[in-house]
Amino acid sequence: MFGRRKKSGSAEDAADAAGEVEQVDEPGADTGETRRVNLPPAPRPDGPWDVSEVSKPGEGRVDLGGIFVPGVEGMELRVEVAGDAIVAATVVLRDSAVQLQAFAAPKKEGIWGEVREEIASGITQQGGVIDEVEGPLGWELRAQVPVQLPNGTGGVQLVRFIGVDGPRWFLRGVISGQGAVQPQAAGLLEQIFRDTVVVRGEGPMAPRDPIVLKLPDDAQMVPEGVQQEDQEGSRFSGGMGQLQRGPEITEVR
């Protein structure tokens, strides 16, 4: 079973400073027991950004409604759906990828700490292995997820789960491919995550509700695995790749 990695000394101090969790006395409790509470979101000096923090979010980024995704040379952009709603975008860059999903969050609390615990619990229940480490983007999960290989045998997929709490939103990234195992391959994907702009909106949303995305106005959907012969005139040609519909996802939390 998964247990949160014990932190001590400077590592524990760093976790608290990053706004993860802290132990506080339960109000009115006489037993001396403590409970975990989420701290306010930590500062984000390097992003990802709230739309209120960026003067021109559309410059150099693809407008997907709930998020603006940075465009880089050679990337392919895929969208993923749950039911009829677009809830995730995946940037594929050579042999690596990062999936981006934004969720509503409480006004004064970050949720990444408890989300990590839930992800880790689900993966370990499937027989996977989890390591919680402090990476370039803060605390993250590095997972070995059981998968079935094309030849029918079992294998593992290496995946990194990253996340950042913002003002009333939470942005999660899932890095796969070479970016999950080679730091040099992950650098550009991490920068894409940092430079993403989240548009939470002012309407009421329950915590953890996905922030629904939309297709760009001039995008053309291409089913997965189908090549588009003529990309002339597409905003995704000449380096950003074509917009594809990726594998459907049924669970986004």
Whether 40 maps to a domain, the answer reads no
Count: domains in the chain = 1
Residues 215 and 221: their CA atoms lie apart, in Å, by 9
Whether 250 maps to a domain, the answer reads no
Which residue range forms the structural domain that includes residue 135? 49-224+235-245
Q: Give the tens place of pLDDT for each residue, 147-196.
A: 988 888 988 899 999 999 999 999 999 999 999 999 888 999 999 999 99
Residue labelled with tokens 């089913």: 223
Residues 133 and 141: their CA atoms lie apart, in Å, by 6
Alpha helices of the chain — where are they, by DSSP H?
10-17, 112-125, 183-194
Q: Give the tens place of pLDDT for each residue, 54-96.
A: 999 999 999 999 999 999 989 999 998 888 888 899 999 999 9
Q: Would you state the pLDDT for residue 61?
A: 94
Whether 31 maps to a domain, the answer reads no
Buried b (16+ CB within 10 A) or exposed e, 202-236: eeebeeeebbbbebbeebeebeeeeebeebeebeb
Query: What separation in angstroms does the CA of 149 have from each of 38, 152, 153, 183?
Result: 39, 5, 5, 25
pTM of the model: 0.73
Tokens for 174?
Answer: 């899932």
Percent of the chain with pLDDT over 70: 70
Whether 129 maps to a domain, the answer reads yes
Alpha helices of 178-249 — where are they, by DSSP H?
183-194
> Which has more pLDDT, 29 or 148?
148
Domain containing 59 — which CATH number?
3.40.1000
Q: Which amino acid is at 155?
A: G
